[in-house]
Amino acid sequence: MSTKSDLLLDMRGIKIEGFSDERWHPIIKGVDLQLHRGEVLGLIGESGAGKSTLGLAAMGFARPGCRITDGQILFDGRDLKPMKESEKRKLWGSRMAYVAQSAAASFNPAHRLIDQTIEASLIKGLKSQNEAKADAVELYRALQLPDPGSIGFRYPHQVSGGQLQRVMTAMAMATRPDLIIFDEPTTALDVTTQVEVLLAMRNIVEQFGTAAIYITHDLAVVAQMADRIKVLRYGEQVEEAETRRMLEAPQEDYTKSLWSVRSIQKPEETSEDYVLTLDGVDAGYTRSLKVLKNVNIKVPRGRTVAVVGESGSGKSTTARVITGLLPPSAGSVRFNGEPLPAALKDRSLDQLREIQMIYQMADTAMNPRQTVGEIIGRPLEFYHGMSGRKKEERITDLLRMIELDDSFADRLPSELSGGQKQRICIARALAAEPDVIICDEVTSALDQIVQEGILNLLLNLQEKFGISYIFITHDIATVKAISDEIVIMFQGEVVEQGLKSEILAPPHPDYTQLLLSSVPEMDPDWLDTLVTERS
Amino acid sequence: MNSVLITVIQRLLLGLITLFFVSIIIFAMVAMLPGDFTQAVLGQAALEETVQAFRKELGLDQPAVYRYFQWLGAVLQGDFGTSFSGRASSGIDRSRPVLELIEPRLYNTLFLASMTAIVAVPLALYLGITAALHRNGFFDRLINTVTLVSISLPEFLVAYVLMALLAVLWPVFPPISEVRPGADFFDRLYISVLPALTLTMVTIAHMMRMTRAAIINLLASPYVEMARLKGVAQREIIIKHVLPNAWAPIATVIAFNLAYLVIGVVVVETVFTYPGIGRLMVDSVTTRDIPIVQACGLIFAGTYIFLNMSADIIGIVTNPRLLHPR
């Protein structure tokens, strides 16, 4: 199907370096990439694999602190590598465009959306102001934005994340480029929103026959978008194949490991012995606006309750109520049947010890100036009054529990990997010897394989110490892997709570159905099937 | 739009409340100055009765709280009182109203401040933007070094160096900026060149460096990368994409320096013997002329509060999140 003439992009022997710690490090170590007109190439890999760097290099662009040291980037027969920026600028925004991960940060807060959408067309003199605006409205309509005629006159902060992401796609499409780089465009979105955005992006790319490089770490997403998939790791290509073949018969061990990440299948267990209960909790940050409405949740002892919902559904607010950071305006929190004081400052040391928390960003949850030993040692002193030798021994014990050796005690957080940092946070929570640990999106910032390690560790610790987890997440795959019970939240209310098998099996309430059906599956036809079903 | 208006009104009210508290502090500070006007005028040898009589005449025998409210009440009606100087124990009263004394001095100060600001502010903005545009290039380094030097030198030194060069070595401008009665606009302009130049050099460094920093800070934002990848040229990026988001910090530093031009110029006034309000205040402190000191203090505080409030308001009205709420 591809002849030589329809080759749009031909990158050969690309090497890119990044500057850090006073020297240049290789980021991309000699990668080839070919893309034909109208073709979508999926670029997948874990964080640090060099996906974005390679994607931007396809436009001849290197971020500040990066440089393309070797190779050629033939775009439509012209090599971008030796070109001056002023030359490349003629191609940028006209024949090639970029769609970034964070739409909220990538729009200028000071200008209306439509002015930003048509900016490139005006600079290049491709259209008159009125033509460009009319065209932008048509694109908004094609991307199924609500109120296409007037949404452009809003400012970026006035529309939702999913809408902003589609406006950015319209912006990229405005000059009908030959090539669009999609850089993790749906990673920051909720699953239900992601479906709409994916669909809109795929349709418009098909409609205009635009070639695209679609960068993501999510295999199931790329399976819906790409004709071919290229797997990257540590700046090198692992393998490349046509999408179906890649999904059915991956060749390399690394690729297979990406496929099999969700291998954990914890059998569900129930218990009538509840360690923590929330009864009719209302809570909010301002007097007038309730974020939580009559929330009832029961946490069985030694089990895992997954609290699932989209951003803004009240998951983290629930955690804040349980920990006492946000006293509820109505209802109560009971621990072992005894009501807990609503506010943190009224709780006894023991009550504080019983409930611990682990956060999404391990980085910001640790004092960067303290060693691991100090970080873990603090709750030992605070709750258990340990000091000296006894404390040192306990720190060594705790490090062993999280599968790290005692040499880590002298290290600083900056010397640890993402997964190791999260393990230290787990050890810090364990040090208090809690009954309940609230895990707030603890694996969301981690790569798939690292996630698996953390989840396994949490399960082992639960088995050993009988700790109960409240596992807050938006990731259904994680929920399937580790939970006993599931709580589904929507707009501050509990839609349903029950055993994993009950919740995941039909029939579902409407919202649960929408949420579960929106989780992309590793099947290239999933999106099409879903569209057919929903219409 | 409404919520912006409310915020602006809130700021204005806050400014007034601040000014009220500042008036208390000014009054208290002046009241706590060691020694008083009667002693300064009458000397150590004066008879106790004479001192008491004089104090009574000036109203200094009243309790401080009473005097404060009397003063505040009068000020609110635009009456800043009468200067102490010109009075003598002899009973002959040649004193003049405070306003009459302050007015020409304030005019002189504002003249010098405006003259400096009209040159310094646009120049600082232009240099700051240009430096950011050619970041780490030759121009950027040169301008950074020059401004660092001028910011580090004490202003009296800058003043004397300028005077030595432009008044003594090449006598282009007068070394002394005495404002003669009946001087017209261009005379004033001419004699104010050296002090204005000194103040420009002192203030421009700060404003230019902050402008540059505010712009460079925003150059790292994703929407700037997006603009580059849309093919927007560097100059356009700074003017269209960066500057609209940089006004809040820039306005703050400009306000700070404008306030300095009114409040902090006493050294420069002294070097050039320029009859500004700063010198009037310092002289009045020496002679314990309380009404003048209080009036000057209030004017300074008002200027400072007004300019900073203006910067705040600029920050608010250039923030699209506040200007266009959801």
Mean predicted lDDT score pLDDT of chain B: 87
Cβ of B221 and A105 within 8 Å?
Answer: yes
Give yes or no for a cis peptide into A507 (omega within 30° of 0).
yes
Partner A contacted by B1 (CB < 8 A): no
In angstroms, rounded to a whole number, what is the distance separating the alpha carbons of residues B157 and B168? Answer: 15
| Chain A residues touching B241 at Cβ < 8 A | 108, 110-111
How far apart are the CA of B133 and the nearest CA of chain A, in angstroms?
Answer: 15
Q: Which amino acid is at A183?
A: D
For residue A171, the chain B residue with the least C-alpha distance is: B230
Structural domain span for residue A490:
274-504
To which CATH superfamily is domain B104-287 assigned? Answer: MetI-like (1.10.3720.10)
Number of domains in chain A: 2
DSSP A96-131: EEEE-S-HHHHS-TTS-HHHHHHHHHHHTT-S-HHH
Interface test with A, best of B4, B135, B228, B230 (most A CBs within 10 A): B230
Q: Are residues A249 and A297 in the same domain?
A: no
Burial class of A4 by CB neighbour count within 10 A (0 to 12, 13 to 18, 19+):
exposed
Q: Which of A427, A478, A440, A426 is nearest to A325 (CA)?
A: A440
Partner B contacted by A87 (CB < 8 A): no
Q: Are residues A205 and A296 in the same domain?
A: no
Partner B contacted by A95 (CB < 8 A): no
Cβ of B245 and A110 within 8 Å?
Answer: yes
Cβ of B229 and A61 within 8 Å?
Answer: yes
In angstroms, rounded to a whole number, what is the distance separating the alpha carbons of residues B230 and A115? Answer: 13
Give the SS3 label for residue B90: coil
Cβ of B223 and A89 within 8 Å?
Answer: no
For residue A91, the chain B residue with the least C-alpha distance is: B231
Partner A contacted by B226 (CB < 8 A): yes
Model confidence at B139: pLDDT above 60: yes
Q: Are residues A230 and A283 in the same domain?
A: no
| Chain B residues touching A61 at Cβ < 8 A | 228-229
C-alpha distances in Å from residue A28, one per residue of A61, A82, A233, A449, B136: 14, 18, 9, 21, 27
| Chain B residues touching A150 at Cβ < 8 A | none
Interface test with B, best of A85, A108, A124 (most B CBs within 10 A): A108
Model confidence at B104: pLDDT above 60: yes
* Cβ neighbours, 10 Å, residue A106: 25
Output the pLDDT for position A4: 47
* Nearest Cβ partner for B232 among A97, A109, A123: A123
How far apart are the CA of A219 and the nearest CA of chain B, in angstroms?
Answer: 26
Characterize the bridge pairing of strands A355-358 and A179-183: unpaired
Cβ of A155 and B226 within 8 Å?
Answer: no
For residue B243, the chain A residue with the least C-alpha distance is: A110
Model confidence at B242: pLDDT above 90: yes
How far apart are the CA of B228 and the nearest CA of chain A, in angstroms?
Answer: 8
- List, in sequence order, every residue forming a beta bridge with B12; answer none if it has no partner: none
Model confidence at B90: pLDDT above 70: no
- Three-class DSSP labels, A317-369: HHHHHHHCCCCCCEEEEEECCEECCCCHHHCCHHHHHHEEEECCCCCCCCCCC
User: HSE-up of B71 (CA within 13 Å, CB side)?
Assistant: 28
Q: What percent of chain B has pLDDT over 90?
A: 40
At A358, list the tokens.
């682990």
| Chain A residues touching B320 at Cβ < 8 A | 109-110, 155, 157
What CATH number is attached to the domain comprising A320?
A: 3.40.50.300
Model confidence at B201: pLDDT above 50: yes
Q: Are residues A372 and A412 in the same domain?
A: yes
In angstroms, rounded to a whole number, what is the distance separating the alpha carbons of residues A317 and A281? Answer: 11
In angstroms, rounded to a whole number, what is the distance separating the alpha carbons of residues B222 and B27? Answer: 52
Q: In what order do the strands lie in the sheet with A179-183?
A: A96-99, A179-183, A211-216, A40-44, A228-233, A236-242
pLDDT digits (tens, 9 = 90+) for B250-309: 999 999 999 999 988 889 998 998 999 999 998 888 888 888 888 999 999 999 999 999
The least confident of A262-266, B78-82, B204-208 is A262-266
Partner B contacted by A106 (CB < 8 A): yes
The least confident of B43-57, B115-129, B200-214 is B43-57
Kindly provide the ipTM of the predicted complex, given to two decimals.
0.80
Confirm if A151 and A163 have CB atoms less than 8 A apart: yes
Characterize the bridge pairing of strands A211-216 and A40-44: parallel
| Chain A residues touching B226 at Cβ < 8 A | 98, 100, 106-107
| Chain B residues touching A107 at Cβ < 8 A | 223, 226
| Chain B residues touching A63 at Cβ < 8 A | 225
Tell whether A2 is covered by a domain. Answer: no
* Nearest Cβ partner for B233 among A89, A155, A158: A89
Partner B contacted by A187 (CB < 8 A): no
In angstroms, rounded to a whole number, what is the distance separating the alpha carbons of residues A128 and B126? Answer: 32
For residue B234, the chain A residue with the least C-alpha distance is: A86
Give the SS3 label for residue B189: helix
Model confidence at B30: pLDDT above 60: yes
Q: Which amino acid is at B316?
A: I
Tell whether A165 is covered by a domain. Answer: yes
Give the SS3 label for residue A255: helix
Tell whether A358 is covered by a domain. Answer: yes
Partner B contacted by A171 (CB < 8 A): yes
| Chain B residues touching A171 at Cβ < 8 A | 230
Cβ of B226 and A92 within 8 Å?
Answer: no
Backbone angle region of A469, left / alpha / beta, with phi > 0 → left and psi within -120 to 50 → alpha: beta
In angstroms, rounded to a whole number, what is the distance separating the alpha carbons of residues B274 and B108? Answer: 8
Partner A contacted by B50 (CB < 8 A): no
In angstroms, rounded to a whole number, what is the distance separating the alpha carbons of residues B230 and A137? Answer: 19
* Nearest Cβ partner for A155 among B228, B245, B320: B320
Q: Are residues A213 and A280 in the same domain?
A: no
How far apart are the CA of B122 and the nearest CA of chain A, in angstroms?
Answer: 22
How far apart are the CA of B325 and the nearest CA of chain A, in angstroms?
Answer: 7
User: HSE-up of A76 (CA within 13 Å, CB side)?
Assistant: 10
For residue A110, the chain B residue with the least C-alpha distance is: B320
In angstroms, rounded to a whole number, what is the distance separating the alpha carbons of residues B229 and B252? Answer: 32
Q: Are residues A147 and A278 in the same domain?
A: no
Partner B contacted by A109 (CB < 8 A): yes
Partner B contacted by A359 (CB < 8 A): no
Q: Are residues A315 and A242 in the same domain?
A: no
Q: In what order do the strands lie in the sheet with A23-36?
A: A23-36, A7-20, A66-75, A78-79
Give the SS3 label for residue A469: strand
Q: What is the DSSP letter of B164?
A: I
Confirm if A443 and A451 have CB atoms less than 8 A apart: yes
Q: Give the count of Cβ contacts less than 8 A between chain A and B.
A: 76
* Nearest Cβ partner for A155 among B228, B318, B324: B324
For residue A121, the chain B residue with the least C-alpha distance is: B230
Confirm if A92 and A121 have CB atoms less than 8 A apart: no
Q: Which regions in chain A score pLDDT beneath 50?
A: 1-4
Last residue of a domain, one of A257, A290, A315: A257
Output the pLDDT for position B311: 92
Average pLDDT score over residue span B225-234: 93
Q: What is the DSSP letter of A79?
A: E
* Cβ neighbours, 10 Å, residue A381: 13
Q: Are residues A245 and A288 in the same domain?
A: no
- CB-based contacts of A334, cutoff 8 Å, min separation 6: A276, A277, A278, A279, A340
C-alpha torsion sign, points B69, B74, B77, B81 = negative
Partner A contacted by B78 (CB < 8 A): no
Tell whether A6 is covered by a domain. Answer: no
How far apart are the CA of B158 and the nearest CA of chain A, in angstroms?
Answer: 39
Q: What is the DSSP letter of B167?
A: I
Confirm if B108 and B178 have CB atoms less than 8 A apart: no
| Chain A residues touching B221 at Cβ < 8 A | 105
Q: Are residues A208 and A347 in the same domain?
A: no
Domain boundaries, chain B: 1-96+289-326, 104-287
Cβ of B232 and A94 within 8 Å?
Answer: no
| Chain A residues touching B244 at Cβ < 8 A | 108, 110-111
Our measurement of the distance from residue A250's CA atom to the centroid of its chain's CA atoms, rounded to an integer in Å, reads 24
Please report which confidence band the pLDDT of residue B86 belongs to, taking 50, 70 and 90 as the band edges.
low
At A151, list the tokens.
């949404």
How far apart are the CA of A200 and the nearest CA of chain B, in angstroms?
Answer: 21
Partner B contacted by A213 (CB < 8 A): no
- List, in sequence order, every residue forming a beta bridge with A41; answer none if it has no partner: A213, A228
Q: Which of A224, A113, A217 is nearest to A163 (CA)?
A: A113
Cβ of B231 and A108 within 8 Å?
Answer: no
